Homo-oligomer: A and B are copies of this chain.
Amino acid sequence: MTVPTAAILVIGNEVLSGKVEEQNARFLIGELRELGVALQCILTIPDEPEQIASATRDLSARFDYVFTSGGVGPTHDDVTISSIANAFDKPIIRHPALESLLRGYFGEDIDATRLRMADVPDGTELIFGKDLKYPVLMCHNVYIFPGVPDLFHKKFTAIRERFRVAPFYLRVIHTLEDEFDIAERLHAIAARHPSVAIGSYPNFSSPDYRVRVTLESKLEAAVDAAHEELLAILDTAQIIELRSPQAP
């Protein structure tokens, strides 16, 4: 089964310097999981044209989808559009449909600064979703989103279904056994089930459980088989049913 992969590129001095808490990647992580897309990389970099171009080129080549956040406004620190154009060796053009949208929206207030929002890399496609007054920009496999969380959220939500594929299946086990003591048993199950991603997360901050084991796959039968085998070799008496389990 081919699983589409994705990367998130967060462009923002404000995130790296702690002025703004990052919310868009955090939101998109859950969305992509729910949609069945395998997120493989989150990269946060400054508002630096060369770094943005280089990261865009790299991530675009390695993953099926790249989602960028930030740097698309009208000020001097908004350099995402020109940097993505450079990444793909494309000139910047004034997009007629965007210009028309902007003229309609701003009316008599339109000016050179506002019109620059219609300047995009040549070849950019406009993705219109329901309830979107202004489209998402797509350049090759790179989807360009604003950094303002409300806008990011609204725009992604409007186009999210285009990314949906088969779901991931997840099983979770909580045990009171020590992670050191179950390591070899986990390893054996992981080795026997290469299509199942098995994670082991110790917990030192509450007495509820000591290790949380997650099993995940696109193949429901595989994840169930691994889950069953693991349950059979863990100490049944130490397996915990959490009444309100943490969100998967």
List A residues at the B interface (Cβ < 8 Å).
Answer: 10, 13-22, 26, 29-30, 32-33, 39-46, 73-78, 111, 113-114, 148, 150-151, 168, 170, 179-184, 186-187, 190-191, 197-205, 214, 216, 248
Task: Give the residues in chain B near A201, CB-CB below 8 Å.
Answer: 14, 19-20
Report the Cα distance A124→B26, complex, angstroms.
33
Task: Give the residues in chain B near A111, CB-CB below 8 Å.
Answer: 180
A45's nearest neighbour on chain B, judged by CB, is B41
State the Cβ distance, A211 to closest chain B Cβ, in Å.
9
**A-B contacts, 21 listed (Cβ < 8 Å):** A10-B42, A15-B42, A16-B29, A17-B29, A17-B33, A17-B216, A18-B32, A18-B248, A19-B170, A42-B42, A73-B202, A74-B179, A74-B180, A75-B186, A75-B187, A76-B183, A76-B190, A76-B191, A76-B200, A77-B190, A113-B181
Task: Give the residues in chain B near A73, CB-CB below 8 Å.
Answer: 179, 200, 202
Report the Cα distance A184→B75, complex, angstroms.
7
Task: Give the residues in chain B near A44, CB-CB below 8 Å.
Answer: 41-43
Task: Give the residues in chain B near A40, CB-CB below 8 Å.
Answer: 16, 45-46
Task: Give the residues in chain B near A200, CB-CB below 8 Å.
Answer: 73, 75-78
Copies of this chain assembled into the complex: 2
Would A77 and B41 count as touching, CB distance under 8 A? no
Would A43 and B42 count as touching, CB distance under 8 A? yes
Would A205 and B150 count as touching, CB distance under 8 A? yes
State the Cβ distance, A248 to closest chain B Cβ, in Å.
6
Task: Give the residues in chain B near A248, CB-CB below 8 Å.
Answer: 18-19
State the Cβ distance, A215 to closest chain B Cβ, in Å.
11
Task: Give the residues in chain B near A41, CB-CB below 8 Å.
Answer: 16, 43-45
A21's nearest neighbour on chain B, judged by CB, is B26
Q: Which 3 A-B pairs rank lowest in CB-CB distance, beginning with the nearest?
A: A42-B44, A75-B200, A76-B187
Report the Cα distance A179→B73, complex, angstroms.
8
